[in-house]
Amino acid sequence: MARKKRSRPRRHIEPIFRSVNAGGVGTSPGTPVYIGDHEPNEAVFSLIQYNQEEISFVTPQSVEEVLVMLEDSSVNWININGLADQDAIKRLGGFFRLDPLTVEDILNTEHRPKVEDFGHYLLIITKMLTRRSDESIEYEQVSMIITRNAVITVQETLGDCFNPVRDRLRSGAGRLRRLDSSYLAYSLLDVIVDNYFSLLEWLGERLENYEDLAASTKEASGFMAGLQAIKSDLNRMRRTVWPVRETANALLRSGSDLLNDNLDPFLRDLQENTVQVLEALESYRETASGIQEVFLSSISNRMNEVMKVLTIISTIFIPLTFIAGVYGMNFNFMPELEQRWAYPAVWALMATIAIGMIVFFRKKHWF
């Protein structure tokens, strides 16, 4: 059951802060120019078309092939990996009547996650987080266009976390094949958020390892560098997930007629999941700070132990140094110097003083 149409053709669901020339220095707003932190990859297209009875997986070679294959009787999931072919994205935008600012937003990979309602389509920009082979986290922008019978996803690089959705489509399990494009979009967002939990579990295991080592390790520089890297990941992940939560809230409140009424419970669950991710991130950040404090306290305690031993040794040698200093004075009339047993007597006196001070320190439990 579709929602009733609203009178406003375009509505910003959440406040958007856009630079005047977001497409690049000197360009006018709406200019499709790639903006990112690495060289864009060549575009790779895929098209999944399905309904309750049948499904097809196609790998077109160009955007024109994609447009020719579209079917009104099926849900069409168009996925584009790579942003190097800006003209192809522009042609796709022309076919679906996308606003020029939408095409610009897709090509600008530094956008904050957001939702915009353009009446005949919804634009969702979110962040997909994946774990790299080098034990770092990759932050990738995913732009999603929702229309009446199509979902367009645009990613920066090959590889994503959408395989569970593809497997469900292939097997026909669940309600995915029976519902419309808005449920497909929700499923993709849900998988992205679920992947946040996988990353949190991995970061939690790393924190547990550092927690076990905090009171025993002596590798201060390596320990602090590793722990600081985890804290940086947690802080950046928090900055990324926070607007994703706002995106889920915006979808829940949107009232767009492109979103099925039956989708509300699922969107509430998506919003609750993002809240759980943020709560876990806050907890892990506090844990990381606690581990850092325990480690610094352990380092301080070890330093105090070293200083205590050195102080005790210095204290023991103070009277011995005094005796050695007295008998090291070159006076002619020092009667002890002429005694036969003077030398061993001084040694015995110094040994007695040293042993006596050690016994005294032990009784005081100073070491």
What are the structural domains, with CATH classification, of the chain?
11-297 (3.30.460.20), 305-363 (1.20.58)
**Lowest pLDDT segment from 109-113, 130-134, 319-323, 334-338:** 334-338
Q: SS3 helix, strand, coil % of the chain, rounded to 5? A: 55, 15, 30
Compute the distance between CA of residue 105 and CA of residue 31 in angstroms, rounded to an integer.
Answer: 10
Compute the distance between CA of residue 133 and CA of residue 283 in angstroms, rounded to an integer.
Answer: 26
Question: Going by DSSP bridges, is the β-strand pair 137-146/55-58 parallel, antiparallel, or unpaired?
Answer: unpaired
pLDDT band, very low/low/confident/very high, at 335 (cuts 50, 70, 90): confident
Q: What are the distances in angstroms from CA 140 to CA 122, 134, 192?
A: 20, 16, 11
Strands (E) in 221-271, as ranges, are none
Question: What is the rounded average pLDDT of the residues 220-224?
Answer: 77
Compute the distance between CA of residue 183 and CA of residue 168 in angstroms, rounded to an integer.
Answer: 13
**Lowest pLDDT segment from 13-27, 66-80, 333-347:** 13-27
Q: 204, 198, 235, 211: which is closest to 295 by C-alpha?
A: 211
pLDDT of 159: 82
Q: Phi and psi for 200 in degrees, rounded to 5? A: -60, -40
**Amino acid of residue 328:** G
Q: What is the chain's mean pLDDT, rounded?
A: 84
pLDDT of 185: 93
Strands (E) in the chain, as ranges, are 11-12, 44-50, 55-58, 75-81, 114-117, 122-131, 137-146, 150-155
**Lowest pLDDT segment from 3-12, 130-139, 286-295:** 3-12
Q: pLDDT (tens digit, 9 = 90+) per residue, 62-105?
A: 889 999 999 888 999 999 998 888 888 899 989 999 998 899 88
pLDDT of 86: 86
3-state secondary structure of 365: coil
Question: What is the rounded average pLDDT of the residues 154-167?
Answer: 89
Considering only residues 24 and 205, tell me which one the structure prediction assigns the higher pLDDT.
Answer: 205
Contact 190, 164 (CB under 8 A): no
Question: Going by DSSP bridges, is the β-strand pair 114-117/75-81 parallel, antiparallel, or unpaired?
Answer: unpaired
Contact 286, 25 (CB under 8 A): no
Compute the distance between CA of residue 69 and CA of residue 72 in angstroms, rounded to an integer.
Answer: 10
Q: What are the distances in angstroms from CA 113 to CA 47, 109, 136, 242?
A: 25, 10, 21, 9
3-state secondary structure of 237: helix
Q: 173, 170, 171, 189: which is closest to 181 by C-alpha?
A: 189
pLDDT band, very low/low/confident/very high, at 29 (cuts 50, 70, 90): low
Separation of first and last alpha carbons in the chain: 79
Q: How many residues does the chain have?
A: 367
Compute the distance between CA of residue 99 and CA of residue 197 in angstroms, rounded to an integer.
Answer: 34
Encode burial over 114-127: b for 16+ CB neighbours within 10 A, e otherwise.
bbbbbbebbbbbbb
Indicate whether 184 pLDDT > 90.
yes
Indicate whether 23 pLDDT > 70.
no
3-state secondary structure of 199: helix
Question: What is the rounded average pLDDT of the residues 184-205?
Answer: 92
pLDDT of 10: 42
pLDDT band, very low/low/confident/very high, at 253 (cuts 50, 70, 90): confident
pLDDT of 78: 93
Q: Lay out the sheet containing 75-81: strands in order across.
A: 11-12, 114-117, 122-131, 137-146, 150-155, 75-81, 44-50, 55-58
Question: Left (φ > 0), alpha (ψ -120 to 50) or beta: where does 209 sit?
Answer: alpha
Contact 319, 360 (CB under 8 A): no
Compute the distance between CA of residue 111 and CA of residue 250 in angstroms, rounded to an integer.
Answer: 17
Considering only residues 309 and 183, tell me which one the structure prediction assigns the higher pLDDT.
Answer: 183
Compute the distance between CA of residue 241 and CA of residue 247 in angstroms, rounded to an integer.
Answer: 10
pLDDT band, very low/low/confident/very high, at 252 (cuts 50, 70, 90): confident
Compute the distance between CA of residue 367 and CA of residue 364 in angstroms, rounded to an integer.
Answer: 8
Burial of 258 (0-12, 13-18, 19+ CB in 10 A): buried
pLDDT band, very low/low/confident/very high, at 142 (cuts 50, 70, 90): very high
pLDDT of 5: 38
Indicate whether 19 pLDDT > 60.
no
Indicate whether 26 pLDDT > 80.
no
pLDDT of 6: 40
Q: pLDDT (tens digit, 9 = 90+) per residue, 102-118?
A: 998 888 888 889 999 99
